Amino acid sequence: MEEENKNPLEENIKKPRKPGSGGKRVGAGRRTQRETESLIAKLSPYQDEVIEVLLELCRKKDVQAVKLYLAYLNGNPTTTTNSTVTANVTSIDLREIITFSEPESEDDSDDVES
């Protein structure tokens, strides 16, 4: 009997996620600060070796390595957007579109009545 009274919209309501789940995949979502710091601590002993490999690739003119090196050395440049709006306006003579009639004078009104 309860099933008959169920609102069909209730079936589409998302269930709350369990704590620690960032998405549908396991481990999806943003890392916590603690996880990030732990990863940095694990990788820092290899920092000098990684920099040497990166510099060697740059010396071999590996474009991706050079881009990576420059991105971390100087930071990525700020993006600027140049937008130019151009519009062509043709000259329009309004007198050709709109005809203006001259105001009626008092003399003309006398002629009409007679």
31 in a domain, yes or no? Answer: no
pLDDT band at 4 (very low <50, low <70, confident <90, very high): low
71 in a domain, yes or no? Answer: yes
Residues 11-35, mean pLDDT to the nearest whole number: 70
Which of helix, strand or coil describes residue 107? Answer: helix
41 in a domain, yes or no? Answer: no
Residue 69 belongs to domain spanning:
46-77
70 in a domain, yes or no? Answer: yes
**pLDDT value for 114:** 47
* pTM assigned to the model: 0.39
53 in a domain, yes or no? Answer: yes
**pLDDT value for 84:** 82
pLDDT band at 49 (very low <50, low <70, confident <90, very high): very high
pLDDT band at 99 (very low <50, low <70, confident <90, very high): confident
State the total domains in the chain.
Answer: 1
* Nearest in space to 28 (alpha carbons), one of 18, 14, 37: 18
